[in-house]
A = this chain, B = another copy of it.
Amino acid sequence: MTAPSTQLTLTALRDIPEVAPGDDLVALICAALEGANLTLEEGDVIAVTQKIVSKAEGCLVDLTTVEPSEQALALAAELDKDPRHIEVILRESRGIIRRQRGVLITETHHGWICANAGVDRSNIAAEEAEVVLTLPRDPDASAQHIREGLRAATGVDVAVLITDSHGRAWRLGTVNLAIGVAGMLPIADFRGHRDRFGYSLRITTVARADELAAAAGLLSGQAAEGLPVVHIRGAGYPRGEGRAVDMQRSVERDLFR
């Protein structure tokens, strides 16, 4: 665990340009940090939205090339959606968790449960109107790749999060959360700890990576503004070699599927 802090500062980097397939995100982040007069320090966190990672990694599917399956055609009719879009969602998914008119919640191949398997049509340039963006193939690997690139460029080992906005059970509205993690453990584990009165704690495991992502979402999540990289300083987080998939509940431990 890094030293506890009483102050936390988040800075959205202004100078990230529109990202295209093949772009070097590490170079873009380093330039934007410099533009913000920020020098990376041990314990910093860099939160990057899934969208620019997917774009850099070329996770784009041209719908005009997609042949919907029987299942996609049936689902599209039921949900009132584009069958080619549904086909891409199904290809990105292990299984369907819930569906209802206009809503399709699936489990992605990574194990994330979210609407439309994270497949997105917005925020793609106009000339690509028929193109959808899928989640990165392996967001933990994407985070690790950026972490290693930043370490090579700056000599500083930071934590990196790949974030996305997901809906939740029971509560309206999305929150930004982590689908890729490197350079930290996503969960702070207080099991066996006692409170200051000597009692065991009610809250024993805290999803620090998701709290960090939610904090970053306050700056990056102003949907139309395009501030996809947030620098976080002063967050105490558990050190280690963790991955976002460590936050997934196994089916046996999940009462809400």
Contact = CB atoms under 8 A, between A and B. Distances in A.
Given A187-B172, A210-B214, A8 B6 contact: no
Given A219-B6, A254-B170, A224 B196 contact: yes
Question: What band does the interface of chain A fall in when counting residues whose beta carbon is under 8 Å from B?
Answer: 35 or more
**Number of identical protomers:** 2
Contacts of A174: 203, 205-207
Interface string A1-22: 0001111111111100000000
Ordered nearest first, which 8 A-B pairs have the shortest CB separation? A173-B207, A214-B214, A169-B256, A215-B215, A169-B169, A8-B10, A98-B255, A6-B12
Nearest to A237: B218
Contacts of A113: 169-170
A85 B116 CA distance: 41
A26 interface: no
Interface of A: 4-14, 98, 100, 103, 105, 112-113, 116, 120-126, 129, 165, 168-177, 186-188, 190, 193-203, 205-208, 210-212, 214-215, 217-219, 221-227, 235-236, 246-249, 253-257
13 contacts: A105-B255, A122-B201, A123-B197, A124-B197, A129-B199, A170-B249, A171-B177, A173-B186, A174-B207, A201-B223, A203-B221, A214-B214, A256-B256
